[in-house]
Homo-oligomer: A and B are copies of this chain.
Amino acid sequence: VNLRGLSAEEVVARALAGDRRATGRALSLVEGGGDRADAVTAATFAHTRGAHVIGVTGPPGAGKSTLVARVVAAIAAAGSRPAVLAVDPSSPLTGGAILGDRVRMAEIDATTFIRSVATRGHAGGLALAIPGAVRLLDAAGYDPIVIETVGVGQVEVDVTATADTTLVVVNPGMGDAVQANKAGLLEVADLFAVNKADVDGAADTRRDLELMLDLSHVTGLDREPATNPGRRPPILMTVATTGEGIDDVVAALVDHREMLAEDGRWSARRARRARFELAVRVNAGTDRRLRGLLDDPRGRALVDDVVAGRRDPVSAAHELGDRLAAR
């Protein structure tokens, strides 16, 4: 069957029946955005099964891809059907030319669904695509769904808004824990892996993390204090290249899922995800209309006036906001 000849609804029907190629095609439709992505969402929203969504993030070079490959291999070996969305918040180049991480992924057991998601446009495109991709994989029976991000920054915050559990991967040495803290990663962590734990400085990195966690309750770093006053993310030591510590990570992920269900955060995080998705959708729509206004002759004249210092940006923005509401 040539899947490209099928409607979005037909592709989704096959994906939900377990057709792996159709799942890949449906993900392409989600990534592409627009009406066909919306059609995939319309065909899947009533069929989700409640998969555990796990975000994996950390500084570049921390070994996230290898760790994720090991973790999902262990999960698959235990009888589950994991899926991985590897998010590359970057360039047209990375889609094809730099394959190192993906090559490692190819070693994974064939029951696991792996997909690299490239953001060909801006970060907003990714924020739109991820919830739809997760929904599709969930409806197609994959569980857990691991979202791996390559960098640090807004994309990771967006992924965290989508995930039930966020695993932050750091390395020994070079102040990696400190850098992760600077990038705000510690605030989103439900679980830490100090990867490359066989090299010098691993114990120091662990100590840095413990110290930052000790400080966190005085600095308001706790995200959900009301529902979970005493929660502290476990810190696990791993060597992803050899598989050391991987079973501990898998067990901690399962523990976290159970804890979320017990203390009520499971449904709170689901609501956070839905709220995030709705906000991204609405904001993307208004931003698109705003770009149109900025590109029309009146918008261009307004920009010129601001550049020339003839017009206050505050009042110029108000004028644009009024035009946006009037359409």
Q: A residues bordering B, Cβ < 8 Å?
A: 38, 41-42, 45-48, 59-61, 88-94, 97-98, 100, 122-123, 131, 150-157, 174-176, 178-179, 181-184, 186-187, 212, 215-216, 219-221, 267, 270-271, 273-275, 277-279, 281-283, 285-287, 290-291, 294, 302-304, 306-307, 309-314, 316-317, 320-321, 324-325, 327
What chain B residues lie within 8 Å of A176 (beta carbons)? Answer: 61
Q: How many copies does the complex hold?
A: 2
CA distance A178 to B93 in the complex (A): 11
In the bound complex, do residue B41 and residue A313 qualify as a contact, i.e. CB atoms below 8 Å apart? yes
B45 A309 Cβ-Cβ under 8 A: yes
Is there contact, CB below 8 Å, between B279 and A294? yes
Known A92-B220, A182-B91, A282-B324: A122·B313 in contact at CB below 8 Å: no
- Please name all residues of chain B whose beta carbon is closer than 8 Å to the beta carbon of A154 when the two chains form the complex: 123, 153-155
Contact in complex: B314, A98 (CB < 8 Å): no
CB nearest to A131 among chain B residues: B313
Q: Which B residues touch A279, using CB under 8 A?
A: 287, 290-291, 294
Inter-chain contact B278/A303, CB cutoff 8 Å: yes
